[in-house]
A and B are shown apart, each in its own frame.
Chain A
Amino acid sequence: MDDKDIIARRVALELRDGQLVNLGIGLPTQVAHHLPPGVNVFFQSENGLIGMLPLPEEGFAWADLTDAGGRPVGAGPGACAIDSAMSFGLIRGGHLDVTVLGGLQVDEKGQLANWLVPGVMVPGMGGAMDLVTGARRVIVAMTHAAKGASKIVRRCTMPLTSVRRVDLIVTELAVIEPTDEGLVLRETAPGVTVEQVLHATAARLHVPATVGTMRG
């Protein structure tokens, strides 16, 4: 199991039957493949679909049924097509239960930066600012470090996506919960010690008396 699988499996355990869930492009998309038995959710694609499913077969690809990355997808029973105003009304209006997004940095306030690397990459925020601001629960699914540098930092140096505190950070090493008191280490991955997580993390982590082992 590679790092991305570890993260996707753990995030999938956060989803509850019947929820409306938006998965970001990239790593978060893989969460869909790891839903526990009996947990059926509706995936929203912000380009205008509720009830998105993977394309059942390559030959069914159709230009009018795509995900937010422009790739062909399928749709399941109960699916609905909506316009962009409705789609973002759902997101901003608090009707979206969970959003899972990738991250460039998360800091001790639980604030996320994930849309711009100044001078390097200027993709635009797309729907990320609305998702992080409006979803009822925001889960950041990302690798713990990039190019050897911790992505969990004391203060974001990259531009914020929202000032809203995210609800959970899941990496291949740990599950971390931002709280009023700061970042709390909730779980470590199997075979990973608390010390290893602390060593790999640039932010201060609170370590409670009991730290669980990451399931997945």
Chain B
Amino acid sequence: MKPAQAADIAERIPDGATLMIGGFIGAGTPQRLVDELVRRGRRELTVIANDTARPGIGIGKLIDARLVRRLVTSHIGTNPETQRQMIAGELQVELVPQGTLVERIRCGGFGLGGVLTPTGVGTLAAQGKRMIEIDGSAFLLELPLKADFALINARRADYLGNLEYALTSRNFNPVMAMAATTVIAEVDDVVPVGVIPPDAVMTPHVLVHYLVCKERSDG
């Protein structure tokens, strides 16, 4: 794990990259990393995220700047601009039930070939998917999701990169930390090793490659 600046991280992310971005309508989204992606104008991105927040907020900023080519998400109802780009054919959107989305990411990170879920059986969400019967009940086979980069947010990290999250800002962040080649955690606070007790660590440091801390305020 290495400390890094948000600007340097954005520099490493190429056009066309697949990104998992944590957050739930902006809560738990790594805002500084998103801002740097926008500043650098990284294009043709595939974004895997629960939602696209609202215009001008969180992942919504990437949508506003038209940097996203493909979006895998559960809900775009809070962002009319995402809907507009989708209907205009400028943005490909794959809508996935929220519980299925998190399980597909979990599969990607946990070395599983897929997951069987009853959610979506008999609905539009079943289109193009294999249905498998287990003990008389129908399940959909949902396949893993992986990414080049996971951009996650945590309340604090220690010097090794052990992470602790804050309340509903946890959401997709811990599971995304499992499912990407490179994991970048943006945190509010960094503390010495041991300040976060072992039992309180929610994401172990071995998963985190880069830590983006608050900019220094003393110049």
B-contacting residues of A (Cβ < 8 Å)?
45-49, 62-70, 75, 81-85, 88-89, 91-92, 116, 121-130, 133-134, 159-163
Q: Which residue of A lies closest to B86 (CB)?
A: A122
Mark the stretch among B9-17, B35-43, B69-77, B207-215 that contacts chain A: B69-77
Specify which of B118, B123, B171 is in contact with A159 (CB 8 Å cutoff). Answer: B123
Q: Which residue of B lies closest to A123 (CB)?
A: B77
B169: min CB distance to chain A, Å: 4
User: Number of residues in B with C-beta < 8 Å to the partner?
Assistant: 48
The answer on a CB contact under 8 Å between A81 and B122 is no
Convert B77-114 into 0s and 1s, putting 1 for each residue whose CB lies closer than 8 angstroms to a CB of A: 11000010011000000010111101100100000000
Interface membership of B132, Cβ < 8 A: no
The answer on a CB contact under 8 Å between B83 and A122 is yes
Specify which of B78, B100, B168 is in contact with A130 (CB 8 Å cutoff). Answer: B100
B171: min CB distance to chain A, Å: 5
A-contacting residues of B (Cβ < 8 Å)?
24-28, 50-51, 53-54, 73-78, 83, 86-87, 95, 97-100, 102-103, 106, 117-125, 155, 165-175, 202
B196: min CB distance to chain A, Å: 15
Residues on B with C-beta less than 8 A from A133 are: 118-121
The secondary structure that dominates the A interface is loop
* Cα–Cα distance between A68 and B167 once the two chains are bound (Å): 13
Residues on A with C-beta less than 8 A from B168 are: 45, 47-49, 64-67, 81
Specify which of B100, B119, B170 is in contact with A48 (CB 8 Å cutoff). Answer: B170
The answer on a CB contact under 8 Å between A130 and B98 is yes
14 A-B residue pairs with CB within 8 Å: A47-B24, A64-B28, A65-B167, A84-B99, A84-B170, A116-B124, A122-B76, A123-B83, A124-B76, A125-B74, A130-B98, A130-B100, A163-B121, A163-B123
* Cα–Cα distance between A92 and B103 once the two chains are bound (Å): 11
A29: min CB distance to chain B, Å: 15
Specify which of B78, B165, B169 is in contact with A63 (CB 8 Å cutoff). Answer: B169
Q: Which residue of B lies closest to A45 (CB)?
A: B168
* Cα–Cα distance between A92 and B120 once the two chains are bound (Å): 11
